[in-house]
Amino acid sequence: MSDKTILVIGTYDTKDDELNYVASRIKAQGGHVLMMDVSVLGDPSTPTDYSKHTVAEAGGSSIQAAIDSGDENTAMQIMAEGCAALCLKLWQDRVFDGIMLLGGSMGTDLALDVTAALPVGVPKYIVSTVSFSPMLPPERLAPDVQMILWAGGLYGLNAICKSSLSQAAGAVLGAARAVEKPPRDRPIVGMTSLGSSALRYMLRLKPALEERGFDLAVFHATGMGGRAFEGLAGQGAFTCVMDFCTQEVGNHVHGSNISAGSDRLTAAGRHGIPQIVSAGCYDLVDIVAWQDLPDKWASHPSHTHNRLINSVVLNGEERRDVARAHCARLADAKGPTAFLMPARGFGEWDREGADLHDPEGLGAFLDEMRSKIPSNVDFRELDCHINDDAFADAALEIFDRWREKGMIAD
């Protein structure tokens, strides 16, 4: 239990006491600690294992260049670039087993770059005074990052912030001891969906893909799930993706703050990963249920899923906007790309006879997709609903054909 090493990172010129307190709590539990300084102007009370000079130089710059910039934002970006590069190198050399970064908004900005540079399976904790804040863009969050709110931690040690820091010390060391890193002994298919009350294709596809020797990871497409999906696709975690719930594209297009970022539906295509795509629940835009409904949605029908999510139903022209956004993203794909278009609907609530059924709105989306689909996409219009077995069967037919041709690696 004493063989795990945690890398503790922060600005030791301003948070020396807090960083050393965390180190002491990790050591008290039997862990080892390495310390990395990412400050610019000041110095730590005692030398760290990795100095600010080493950090800056790892990014091809220097502390003097950071100082000469005369701008704290520019200076910290120099440190962020060096810290990310150095941490990745140290991880590849298996120097540490888990990482913890402490900071306010400035330190958190750096921490987001560092954690995004590390692969899934590295225990990574950010203890921040701005954890969970809407100022943190979803596209900068690593798929498996853990955040802890640093209550009372803006300046100096106190009883309240020690409570947060001591829990964080236990969390990162415990994670380093307990983590089961992805073994990569079975190729992984990445899939997006919502709960089975709305979309059910994964119930049929999971056992079918497992029988073929593949693991299936299903991501909840409600903002952060799609962000994690895109991040992992960018890291090459998937041999193929079945991106069947792209509602987050519409959320972004229509200004919802339940967003997976502007680059949703791009990572697989950008990296040449085979992708089979559909547009599950494209007709809905998610709104935070506990906030007042924006005036722009006042006349739209809606579906209250729970006390967290309220989904408004798009009209025909708004659905055309979503279709165009899909086509623009798919046009840039560098790998095999297919789009499945179930002409009878894209979510359980829009079936004929269901509460949100809107044949005119559906027709507008289908029309726009037919006219705008790019030439690099294998476009399959299906006479079924997305939750029918025929949809899953069509996806498997494409998957099997691509696999036989060697386009999907076993």
Sequence ranges of the domains in the chain: 5-178, 188-404
What is the C-alpha to C-alpha distance for residues 89 and 76, in angstroms, rounded to an integer? 20
Per DSSP (E only), the strands in 44-187 are: 98-103, 124-128, 146-149
What is the C-alpha to C-alpha distance for residues 50 and 14, in angstroms, rounded to an integer? 17
Give pLDDT, residue 303. 83
Flag whether pLDDT at 311 surpasses 80. yes
Give pLDDT, residue 184. 74
For domain 5-178, the question of CATH label 3.50.50.100 is answered with no
Burial of 87 (0-12, 13-18, 19+ CB in 10 A): buried
- Quick check: helix, strand or coil at residue 107? helix
Please, which residues have CB within 8 angstroms of residue 53's CB and are 6 or more apart in sequence? 62, 63
Stated pTM of the model: 0.85
Digit-coded pLDDT (tens) for 222-266: 998 999 999 999 989 999 999 999 999 999 999 998 889 899 999
Q: What is the mean pLDDT of the chain?
A: 94
What is the C-alpha to C-alpha distance for residues 386 and 232, in angstroms, rounded to an integer? 25
What is the C-alpha to C-alpha distance for residues 34 and 56, in angstroms, rounded to an integer? 17
208 confidence band (pLDDT: 50, 70, 90): very high
How large is the average pLDDT for residues 267-291? Answer: 95
CATH class of 188-404: alpha beta
Give pLDDT, residue 2. 58
How large is the average pLDDT for residues 171-193? Answer: 91
